[in-house]
Amino acid sequence: MVRYIIKRILAGLLTALAVATLTFFIMNLVPGGPFLAEKAVTPQAQAAMEAKYGLDKPLFVQYLTYMNDLLHGNMGMSLKKRGFTVNDIIRNKFPVSARLGGMAVLVAVLIGVPLGAIAAYKRGGTADNVIILFSTAGIAVPSFLTSTLMMYLLSVRLKLLPSLGLDSPASYIMPVIALALYPSCYIARLMRSSMLDVIGQDYMRTARAKGVSPFKSIFKHALRNAILPVVTYLGPLLASLMTGSFIIEKIFTIPGLGHEFVSAIPSRDYPLIMGTTIFLATFIIFMNVLVDIAYAFIDPRIKLK
Amino acid sequence: MENGKNFLSLQLNAEDFLPATEDEKESLVVMRESVGFWKDGFRRFRKNRIAMAALAVVVLILVLAFLVPLIYPYAYEQQMKGSERLGPFQYSQKELERMAGGEAVFPHFLGTDQNGRDYTIRVLVGARVSMTVGIIASTLILLIGAVYGAVAGYFGGKVDMVMMRIVDVLYTIPDVLIIILLAQVLKFPLQSLSKVPGFGWITAMGPNMVSMFLVFALLYWVGMARIVRGQIMVLKQNEYITAAKALGATDGRIIRKHLITNCIGTLIVTTTLQIPSSIFTESFLSFLGLGVQAPMPSLGSLASNALNGLQTYPEKLFAPAFMIFIIILSFNLLGDGLRDAFDPKMKK
């Protein structure tokens, strides 16, 4: 088990290294540069700027310097936000996105798992049909539509909720709903189909035969066996939502990491692009390892090797 | 007795020994007509009312998006002076005068936009763009993902490990990064390429759309590759693969003739479910301004543009939003129906 985990973490680090290398070279090979967009820059000033940030050196030397710094935990200075290191920016913006994303995932699990379980339990009944109807419709709405329509209804028309920023608890409501709608519907569907598989198993009949109540058999015996696909889905979901959704952060003007990352790309803020990409990639890889380990705890039949 | 025969007589009736007619043979066949994979699947698909309704809606949208614009009296880029920002079924001053003169004026069902372009046709053409992107992107994903996954799954071992690590890396790189960078890289090469005879379609589609296809082709096949690999790894354990090998079939032939054909159900289903997710991505990118270029509309860019006038013209957002919803919903339901019909694991 420990050997397996170590092996997975090492493989993950290798993947992260490959992502970093690939991103570095793709980013630098694209024509254009960070200081071209600014107007009225004399060639001397541009050369001076490039020299200051080491962009005048050969690409491979830049790569080695960057990797060396990265291994020492230093992701460099932002080229556009003068005076801020990339570490600072991630440290400041990540908590905002993480809180929002974490809440959305929590809501999605709390809604999706019970709904899926109920739908499977009442298979073919009214509750099942209603849940299927809503979850199928829910995965057909892109989050930018949910958020704009909500904004129109709740902020513009009814003036119930603040439309911008994250200043009050009430301003969390719309972004969290917009982020959580798709995953909760997806989880409900996933949960329903895996629950239906489990309900047909022999041990469920045994549990009922020895007198376990229907409710307990569903929520104790079946749930634990049926939740594995949901856990698989949760890993990458948690990573992508916690590192910030650009669309949602843009619509609700939330100062999060997703917005920082996407606006860094057109302005060619190289260190910021590298930093956020590596952060995101490592997070996804780490979550996937965590999911594999969680398997072994949820289902002891699974042997990690 | 009858025929005047003695009942103890052993003389047999010659008629009983005539060859059986076709009808008689038919009545003795106990087995049903054999039902093939396709026939069986379609029979089950036809019974699924929701899936059939979804199919009808998809066909209806295809007609609306691809045929109706050909006969529609307005063009999507046609700007009508004086008819800016009309509400649904409103007419401009000029059009009212023409109507007073006895001329028939085709109504603007959804009004017009800030440049005086008929909004109905823009939504329809936007649906066409989104559907085209969805279908072409899914085809690219199908081709690349199926071949890659099949090769990795069939050869296994070191080949598989290296190929799947590449998939892991591609899966982890943020797609927005590649899309923005690629759009910048490809802008000039594509513009010069579009002047070469035979490549004029690039201008028609817009360089952004072409780079979007390239991104789909580069990044989004990884999911398909994983699914196909999983299937192939199970399928290759079958005896008929060993038999084919023993008969001297080449690896390429086994993959093409035996393995890919046997996971065709999965391929169809995954591709159908890929179309809505490609449309999802396209509308997301167009919403960010990275999708198709003006004046060409897409559902995402229409929704994005409608945001500015949300307070005064909410219907400009509702129309493309509803269209996206219906397209994605009907493709999802169609895909679910196909899976229930064709996925062997779903047979009950």
d(CA B228, CA B163): 13
d(CA A278, CA B174): 10
User: Is B181:A28 a contact under the CB 8 Å cutoff?
Assistant: no
d(CA B252, CA B217): 22
**Residue B1: per-residue pLDDT:** 47
User: Is A145:B325 a contact under the CB 8 Å cutoff?
Assistant: yes
Closest CA relative to residue A157, chosen from B60, B270, B11, B317: B317
SS3 A77: strand
SS3 A85: strand
What is the phi/psi pair of residue A149, to 5°?
-65, -40
List the single residue in A with minimal CA-CA distance to B331.
A140
Q: Cβ of A285 and B181 within 8 Å? A: no
CATH fold of A90-242, please?
MetI-like fold (1.10.3720)
Q: Cβ of A19 and B329 within 8 Å? A: no
User: Is B162:B267 a contact under the CB 8 Å cutoff?
Assistant: no
Ramachandran quadrant class, B198 (left: phi over 0; alpha: psi -120 to 50; beta: rest)? left
The shortest CB-CB distance from A145 to any of B165, B176, B324 is to B324
Position B41 pLDDT exceeds 90: no
SS3 A226: helix
User: Is B297:B305 a contact under the CB 8 Å cutoff?
Assistant: no
The rounded average pLDDT for each run of 10 residues, N- to C-terminus, in chain A (305 residues) is: 83 87 83 64 73 76 84 80 83 89 94 90 86 87 84 81 76 89 91 84 86 82 84 85 83 85 82 88 86 79 63
Partners of residue B177 in chain A, C-beta under 8 Å: 23, 27, 261, 265, 273, 277
Residue that has been written with the tokens 């380990």 in this structure: A293
- Burial letters B294-314, b for 16+ CB under 10 A, else e: eebbbbbbbbbbbeeebeebb
Partners of residue B174 in chain A, C-beta under 8 Å: 261, 277, 280-281
d(CA A28, CA A43): 20
Closest CA relative to residue A11, chosen from B215, B168, B132, B25: B168
Partners of residue B276 in chain A, C-beta under 8 Å: 140
Top pLDDT among A240 and B200 is at: A240
A207: distance to nearest CA of chain B, Å? 24
Partners of residue A20 in chain B, C-beta under 8 Å: none
Q: Cβ of B307 and A31 within 8 Å? A: no
A247 and B CB contact within 8 Å: yes
pTM of the model: 0.79
Partners of residue B218 in chain A, C-beta under 8 Å: none
The shortest CB-CB distance from B311 to any of A30, A141, A156 is to A156
Position B175 pLDDT exceeds 70: yes
d(CA B207, CA B194): 9
d(CA B39, CA B47): 13
Q: Cβ of B172 and A281 within 8 Å? A: yes
d(CA A197, CA A219): 15
Q: Cβ of A30 and B169 within 8 Å? A: no
d(CA B99, CA B186): 48
**Residue A112: per-residue pLDDT:** 93
Bond preceding residue B295 cis, omega within 30 of 0:
yes
DSSP assignment of A214-258, as one string? Answer: HHHIIIIIIHHHH-HHHHHHHHHHHHHHHT--HHHHHHTT---HH
**Residue B220: per-residue pLDDT:** 84
Q: Name the CA radius of gyration of chain B, rounded.
A: 30
CA B277 to centroid of chain Cα atoms: 10
d(CA A53, CA B189): 30
d(CA B255, CA B261): 8
Which range (A2-16, A57-71, B18-32, B198-212) has the least confidence? B198-212
Q: Cβ of A23 and B180 within 8 Å? A: no
Cα–Cα distances (Å) from A202 to A197, A222, A269, A271, B281, in that order, read 11, 11, 58, 56, 42
Partners of residue B53 in chain A, C-beta under 8 Å: none
**Residue B90: per-residue pLDDT:** 73
Q: Looking at mean pLDDT, say which of B13-22, B56-65, B68-77 comes out highest.
A: B56-65
Residue that has been written with the tokens 């927005």 in this structure: B176
Q: What residues contact residue A42 under an 8 Å CB cut-off, 6+ apart? A: none
- Indicate the residue type of B231: Q
d(CA A243, CA A179): 12
Q: Cβ of A144 and B168 within 8 Å? A: no
Interface mutation target, options B177, B184, B316, chain A, most CBs of A under 10 Å: B177
Note the pLDDT tens digit of each residue in B93-146: 777 777 777 777 777 777 777 777 888 888 888 888 888 888 888 898 999 999
User: Is A183:A166 a contact under the CB 8 Å cutoff?
Assistant: no
The shortest CB-CB distance from B169 to any of A15, A151, A156 is to A15
Closest CA relative to residue A244, chosen from B281, B328, B176, B220: B176
**Residue B200: per-residue pLDDT:** 66
Average pLDDT over every residue of B311-329:
85
- Indicate the residue type of B47: K
Q: Cβ of B169 and A149 within 8 Å? A: no
Partners of residue B169 in chain A, C-beta under 8 Å: 15, 18-19, 22
d(CA B180, CA B187): 11
Closest CA relative to residue A175, chosen from A221, A198, A201, A143: A143
User: Is B138:B274 a contact under the CB 8 Å cutoff?
Assistant: yes
B303 and A CB contact within 8 Å: yes
User: How many beta-carbon pairs below 8 A join chains A and B?
Assistant: 103
Partners of residue B287 in chain A, C-beta under 8 Å: 142, 144, 247
d(CA B237, CA B229): 13
What is the value of ipTM here, to two decimals?
0.77
Rounded (10°) angle between helices B119-155 and B299-306: 130
List the single residue in A with minimal CA-CA distance to B308.
A148
**Residue B348: per-residue pLDDT:** 47
CATH of the domain spanning B52-78+117-346: 1.10.3720.10
User: Is B333:A136 a contact under the CB 8 Å cutoff?
Assistant: yes
d(CA B316, CA B331): 24
Angle at A111 between CA A105 and CA A112, to 5 degrees: 80
Cα–Cα distances (Å) from A66 to A20, A99, A198, B305, in that order, read 10, 30, 50, 40
User: A77 pairs with which residues across the strands?
Assistant: A85
B72: distance to nearest CA of chain A, Å? 28
Angle at A261 between CA A259 and CA A266, to 5 degrees: 100
Q: Cβ of B185 and A31 within 8 Å? A: yes
Q: Cβ of A22 and B169 within 8 Å? A: yes
Tally of CB atoms within 10 A around B204: 9
Question: B347: number of CA atoms within 13 Å, CB side?
Answer: 9
SS3 B118: strand
A273 and B CB contact within 8 Å: yes
For chain B, the structural domain boundaries read 52-78+117-346, 79-116
A107: distance to nearest CA of chain B, Å? 23
d(CA A181, CA B265): 30
